[in-house]
Amino acid sequence: MTRVGVLALAAALAASACAPMGHGGHHPRTSTVTVAGTGTVSAAPDMAEITTGVVTQAPTAAQALAANSQAMERLLQALGTLDIAARDIQTTNISVSPLRRQGRDGQPPEITGYEVTNQVRVKVRDLSRLGRVLDLSVAPGAGPGANLVHGIHFGRQEPAPLLDEARKRAMADARRKAELYAGAASLRVGRVVAVQEAGAASPRPEMAPRVMMSAAVPVAPGEQEIQASVTVTFTLEP
């Protein structure tokens, strides 16, 4: 808001607060100010989720599915050697698709084989193991280029304390703004009469989807910002 806008708001607040009592001695309506506050907390993530999987191709659907199942079983066993618990591995997609080749001389496309994709979401609670998990995920267990990483994002295992701190900062920011407006109107901030949370967000950086890899994977989790926003109404007192 511009300085002119702040002064105009201050004048309106002052006029409202100093309005005379109505007929019959009724007290005037309490003056209020409503402001929005934002609070942000930065923290390093302590967990990650990846979507990985196996893609296999074969002349028949049964062969492609059998090869895929064997490769996925090897992947799951390998993840187990890194102490990834069964509860942290969840199947998200299994698909069987025909492979077609364009027909010649106006003939329709012909099926030349089948492709099977099996994807699982893996939660890595120990980021020191994430690089090794990614290495296992892209190992050529089902043939060169057969394994894939579909995405990765970072987060917090217990985000509630950070969200609460962001909320406290949002309330402090709202009070700071209210006091700014009240001071400009020669008033003071009173009690809180309404609080509405606009939301809380934790951005999750993500890799490009369906990324094929074949080398060791360096990982940089960085930092994340957790943000909360509130709208607060305060009373204004002379």
Q: 108-154 pLDDT, tens per residue?
A: 888 899 999 999 999 999 988 888 888 877 765 544 344 778 778 89
Residue 202 lies in a domain: yes
Provide the number of structural domains found in the chain.
2
Report pLDDT for 202: 59
| Same domain (yes/no): 148, 163 | no
Which of 129, 155, 181 corresponds to the end of one domain? Answer: 155
For the residues of 74-98, what is the DSSP string, one character each?
Answer: HHHHHHHHTT--GGGEEEEEEEEEE
CA 5 to chain centre: 36
Q: How confident is the model at residue 206 (pLDDT cuts 50, 70, 90)?
A: very low
| Same domain (yes/no): 9, 80 | no
Tokens in use for 135? 């290495």
Contacts of 57 (CB under 8 A, 6+ apart): 64, 99, 113, 114, 115, 116
Report pLDDT for 65: 94
| Same domain (yes/no): 56, 134 | yes
Selected residue with higher pLDDT from 30 and 199? 30
Going by C-alpha positions, the residue among 110, 127, 119, 167 that lies closest to residue 146 is 119
Please tell me the pTM assigned to this model: 0.65
Quote the domain boundaries for residue 114: 47-155
For the residues of 100-130, what is the DSSP string, one character each?
Answer: EEPPSTTPPPEEEEEEEEEEEEEEES-GGGH
Rounded (10°) angle between helices 3-17 and 160-184: 80
Q: How far apart are CA 100 and CA 114, in angstroms?
A: 9
Residue 51 lies in a domain: yes
Residue 216 reports pLDDT greater than 90: no
| Same domain (yes/no): 108, 206 | no
| Same domain (yes/no): 148, 177 | no
| Same domain (yes/no): 148, 170 | no
Q: How far apart are CA 201 and CA 121, in angstroms?
A: 22
Q: How far apart are CA 123 and CA 139, in angstroms?
A: 18
| Same domain (yes/no): 74, 151 | yes
Residue 233 lies in a domain: yes
pLDDT tens figures, 86-99: 999 999 999 999 99
| Same domain (yes/no): 62, 108 | yes
| Same domain (yes/no): 137, 173 | no
187 close to 14: Cβ distance less than 8 angstroms: yes
Q: How confident is the model at residue 15 (pLDDT cuts 50, 70, 90)?
A: very low
Residue 218 lies in a domain: no
Residue 31 lies in a domain: yes
CATH of the domain at 174: 3.30.110.170
CATH of the domain at 108: 3.30.70.2970
Tokens in use for 184? 């400009």
Which of 109, 132, 155 corresponds to the end of one domain? Answer: 155
Residue 189 lies in a domain: yes
